[in-house]
Amino acid sequence: MAPSNLETVKEAFGALSEEGYEALLPLIHPEFEVTTPPELSSEPDTYRGPEGIRRYFESFYEAMDRVEFEPTAFQEVGGRVVVDFVLHARGRTTGIEVEQHGAFVWTLRDEQAVSLEVYPTLDEALEAARRAGEVADQ
């Protein structure tokens, strides 16, 4: 039996935490896309496919020597998976610890992520997932 979308996303966070970002790549669909919004990133950009994920993390590690995404809650909403998270990072040169809260909306197809939307708050992510689910039901 195929895992649920929720199980797949939990597996992705477990793989990232235990094995690093390379372990995410099999879970990323070739058509995958995520855009880091300006309000949550010093360098907003769009990343596509497994290579985009690799590029995202490699650019992060140029400035940071530690990057951890800590999920605090998982919910399935409108056929998508919403994840409340805390990003922990430490500056490579400065050693300064930073923490940023946010929420992801994952869209999956055939047990792979096809898109990831990033929001500054869980409420915004939940609303976006609900709206997307309503559109999909029409």
Instruction: For the chain, give every domain's residue range.
Output: 5-137
pLDDT digits (tens, 9 = 90+) for 82-126: 999 999 999 999 999 999 999 999 999 999 999 999 999 999 999
Contacts of 51 (CB under 8 A, 6+ apart): none
Per CATH, the number for 5-137 is 3.10.450.50
Q: What is the mean pLDDT of residues 54-61?
A: 91
Residue 138 clears pLDDT 60, i.e. is over it = no
CA angle 42, 47, 53 (to 5 degrees): 100
Residue 1 clears pLDDT 70, i.e. is over it = no
118-136 in b/e burial notation, b at 16+ Cβ within 10 A? bbeebeebbebbeebeeee
